[in-house]
Amino acid sequence: MEEAPAKKDYSREGEEPKPFKLTSLSLPPGDQQRFYPISALTVHTKGGPSPSVAFPSYLLASQNHTDVRRRGQHRRLKNCIILAEWCPDSNALKASVEERPLTADAVSQLEKTFEMFDRDGNGTLDANEVTQVLRALDVVLEEGEDSEVAAALDLNASGTVDLNELKTALSRLSFFGIQDGRYFVLLSLIEAESLRGAMHVAKSRGIPLVPGFPSASVCLRLLPLG
């Protein structure tokens, strides 16, 4: 069955871009920048609204991209093309303390992979086996990180890693290098263009992007299509 948009009177009301001050990028996310947790974004289909997805707290969206406050109007989905990697204060970054429980499918896959590489069946893995398990789970490791990563997973300092330690570590965002104070924001094209222009001006003049706040930083990232 060929898919097509429902024949509705799609609204563009209120979609004019709303500016925010560059100085607001030195503040935590909120109304100052018109950023909101992307978990608040839902899609309405013929069967009703989609369930909310509990995305990590560092994933945000701009109201200039999609304004979730406008209910009761039919609007087409917009492409997700550009993210801003944003730190209000890069000096305050620290390892994330957020934990996200593994899904039932993830736990099942982890248990099967653990059993596959626990060749002697003693319920623990050495550094080499831990590396093999992580790579089988598509966790990217830099060359030479094997021992360091195994030590980080060995929570009770026993010299080996058991299944519970592996589950605990993989549920912690800090294991994947996520930092509190670093955000990824879905932007509209006009916002991205404006920020890019401001970044070029700041660089050419040798001044901070956010006036008076040199530790605030923004990097624009283009999302790959397909």
CB contact burial 195-216 (16+ within 10 A = b; e otherwise): beeeeeebeeeeeebbeebeeb
Quick one: how far is CA 222 from the chain centroid? Answer: 14
- In which band, very low, low, confident or very high, does the pLDDT at 41 lie, cut at 50, 70 and 90? confident
CA distances from 183 to 148, 195, 218 (A): 26, 16, 10
Tell me the C-alpha distance between 27 and 223, whole Å. 25
The candidate with the shortest Cα–Cα distance to 107, out of 170, 34, 185, 33, is: 170
- For 30, the token pair is 């909120």
- For 110, the token pair is 């982890």
The candidate with the shortest Cα–Cα distance to 186, out of 76, 60, 15, is: 60
Select the more confidently predicted residue: 159 or 24: 24
Looking at every residue in the chain, the average pLDDT score rounds to 84
Select the more confidently predicted residue: 13 or 103: 103
Domains of the chain: 22-97+179-222 (no CATH), 104-170 (1.10.238.10)
Q: What mean pLDDT is predicted for residues 91-115? A: 90
- For the ranges 111-125, 127-141, 159-173, the lowest mean pLDDT is seen at 127-141
Does the pLDDT value for residue 62 go beyond 80? yes
- In which band, very low, low, confident or very high, does the pLDDT at 143 lie, cut at 50, 70 and 90? confident
Looking at residue 35, its pLDDT comes to: 93
- For the ranges 20-24, 35-39, 211-215, 220-224, the lowest mean pLDDT is seen at 220-224
pTM here is 0.76
Residues paired with 95 in a beta bridge: 179
Residues near 86 by beta carbon (within 8 Å), at least 6 away in sequence:
25, 182, 183, 184, 185, 217, 218, 219
Cite the DSSP H helix spans in the chain: 104-117, 127-136, 146-153, 163-170, 189-205
Count of beta carbons in the 10 Å neighbourhood of residue 161: 25
Of the spans 47-56, 110-119, 168-177, which averages the highest pLDDT? 110-119
- For 22, the token pair is 């560059």
- For 3, the token pair is 């898919």
Looking at residue 11, its pLDDT comes to: 52
Give 96's Cβ-side CA count (13 Å radius). 21
